[in-house]
A and B are shown apart, each in its own frame.
Chain A
Amino acid sequence: MPLDPGYAPDRPQDIRVDLRLIAEMVEANARVLDVGCGDGELLAELTRAKGVDGRGIELSMAGVHACVSRGLSVVQGDADTDLRDYPDQAFDYVILSQTLQATRAPKEVLANLVRIGRRAIVSFPNFGHWRVRLALLLQGRMPKTSHLSYEWWETPNIHFCTITDFVVLCRDMDIEIEQSVILPRGGRVRRMKPGWQANWLGEQAVFLLKKRRG
């Protein structure tokens, strides 16, 4: 599910950066499952640039139609309910881009990602970003940003978290963070440890994850 309704080509530049970062993490010719693949922008790019064997799951019919019409293998489905069908380690990478916060059970979804994929790549908007904190502190209202523009009563984003929250959850679930990339507001991409500084500065974060297998 995208942060913005519809699949306008003029998606915010920072989301495109987010997809590019994900693409950089994926090895060539890998088997990839993109969960919440939208109109297939990332899958198409991965297929073109990295020669991946790509599949997708997308909730919105408009997105699925767009994907299949451009020759991508995508099924209409829901990250919350349809991931459990997939066998263990069926893919090299399972990608969840800007979708975690819209799932009903993010922890279960995350568990499925690292089960189905040898690695998982997860990106999400950071609710610990200073502007979000400031908005709540000063205005006393639910924060809205350029790419989180929904009102509280209409937002599909029902499970926001901060970078620190996410790191804690990974630790609890025995998930290793192999790479983390922070995208500050309008700034340069920073490869930094997901600590307090990242939690203040990162508007978005991208993580490369792996389940510790005993």
Chain B
Amino acid sequence: MPLDSGAVIGPFTVAYQTYGTLNSDRSNAVLVCHALTGDQFVAESHPITGKPGWWSLVVGPGRVIDTDRYYVICANVLGGCMGTTGPKDIDPATGRPFGVRFPVITIGDMVRAQKLLIDHLGIEKLLCVIGGSMGGMQVLEWAVRYPERLHAAVPIAAAARHSAQNIAFHEVGRQAIMADPDWRGGDYYAAGVRPTRGLSVARMAAHITYLSEAALHRKFGRNLQDRQALSYGFDADFQVESYLRHQGITFVDRFDANSYLYITRAMDYFDLARDHGGALANAFRGTPVRFCIVSFSSDWLFPTAESRAIVHALNAVAGNVSFVEIESDKGHDAFLLDEPEFHRVLHGFLDGLSGRVGVRRS
């Protein structure tokens, strides 16, 4: 498969999970796109951590994306580390892991790989492509690149381009990984080590951006961790420090540092308007896709203004768009959490969509 960079990749593997049953006219397929550190285990316990699926609040029997009704597909992204070909896999040319010799991939490349999967599954037209954060970027890419292959697109807490601030945060994470001596220029696999300290710091920095000041304050305040007084040292005195360290340490068990480099880069490169003559509206001209765009009020990583820019572009071409900003103080991560209003809106949109498309029970 040709990549946006000009390189070619293949043969490659796409690891995916499905939930529910494809109905006889293949009209009930919902493709879920995962975020930066997500994977295909949307609605089942994670094979490494044993934790519930990352969107099990939304996807499952009787849930908003009801697997008794819809056939849900989720694939690990290209460059990932949960089964789809990525930098930790063996380069057939050398017989050694790719490391940083893996080609740089883009959101467009991820979507092209997913489209091959959808072709393989024999699905002519997806009912809906849905995802949050980087998943939302893939949703937008799907709608723009293959508008005839989906009825509806639901980008959540997303943007049509990655902002300078977001690129900056990603760069901090990448530098932390590359500064770890165990990174070894990306060739740590054979040495039997992993840049866990660097990756863990990258995760800690990123994790702050997924929350909000209000959420951090509510959760931790200035509370001390397992102690009555300040230690006058650099232990994790505060609960928030302890929490972040825990986030960092547990993350490295399930994620490959080189994958983190590649996937953050793919997000940095994402800019739909640039790919369409600098005007986002051009990307959507004549689109038959119904859009439902959702943002969260306290999300400062992908703020409402980014979603509104997409809405404005769709309005400019008289596209079919719904847009809702959900009031929440939980920051960017709100899309993963228990947000009843968000779930109600999503349910209503999907229900209306299924009625219009005439989705039969599986």
- Interface, chain A (partner B; CB < 8 A): 55, 61, 64-65, 67-77, 82, 85-87, 90-91
Interface string of B12-48 (1 = CB under 8 A from A): 0000000000000000000000000000000000000
Q: How far is the CA of A77 from the CA of B322 in the complex (A)?
A: 11
* A-side contacts of B318, CB under 8 Å: 86-87, 90-91
Q: How far is the CA of A69 from the CA of B344 in the complex (A)?
A: 6
* B-side contacts of A85, CB under 8 Å: 312, 315-316
Report the interface size class on chain B. 20 to 34
User: Which of the residues B312, B315, B322, B344 comes within 8 Å of A72, measured between beta carbons?
Assistant: B322
Residue B311 lies at the interface, judged by CB distance under 8 Å to chain A:
yes
- Asked, given contacts A75-B315, A77-B311, whether A70 binds B352 with beta carbons under 8 Å apart, the answer is yes
Q: How far is the CA of A65 from the CA of B323 in the complex (A)?
A: 9
Q: Is there an interface contact between A73 and B322, defined as CB atoms closer than 8 Å?
A: yes
Question: Chain A contact residues: over half helix, strand or loop, or mixed?
Answer: mixed
Q: Is there an interface contact between A65 and B321, defined as CB atoms closer than 8 Å?
A: no
* B-side contacts of A77, CB under 8 Å: 311, 323
Smallest CB separation, A110 vs chain B (Å): 19
- Interface, chain B (partner A; CB < 8 A): 290, 292, 311-312, 315-318, 320-325, 327, 341, 344-345, 347-349, 351-353, 355-356
Smallest CB separation, B171 vs chain A (Å): 33
Q: How far is the CA of A1 from the CA of B215 in the complex (A)?
A: 32
- Asked, given contacts A72-B322, A75-B322, whether A87 binds B316 with beta carbons under 8 Å apart, the answer is yes
Q: Is there an interface contact between A73 and B316, defined as CB atoms closer than 8 Å?
A: no
* B-side contacts of A65, CB under 8 Å: 324, 341, 344-345
Question: In chain A, what residue has the closest Cβ to B325?
Answer: A76
Q: Is there an interface contact between A71 and B316, defined as CB atoms closer than 8 Å?
A: no
* B-side contacts of A68, CB under 8 Å: 292, 322, 324, 345, 348-349
CB pairs A–B below 8 angstroms (15 shown): A55-B320, A61-B324, A61-B325, A65-B324, A68-B345, A69-B347, A71-B351, A71-B352, A71-B355, A76-B323, A85-B315, A86-B315, A86-B318, A87-B316, A87-B318
* A-side contacts of B325, CB under 8 Å: 61, 76
User: Which of the residues A64, A67, A73, A82 comes within 8 Å of B290, measured between beta carbons?
Assistant: A73
Q: Sort A-B residue pairs by CB-CB distance and give the 3 closest, nearest first.
A: A71-B352, A69-B348, A90-B318
Question: In chain A, what residue has the closest Cβ to B294?
Answer: A68
Question: In chain B, what residue has the closest Cβ to A74?
Answer: B322
* A-side contacts of B311, CB under 8 Å: 75, 77
Smallest CB separation, B348 vs chain A (Å): 3
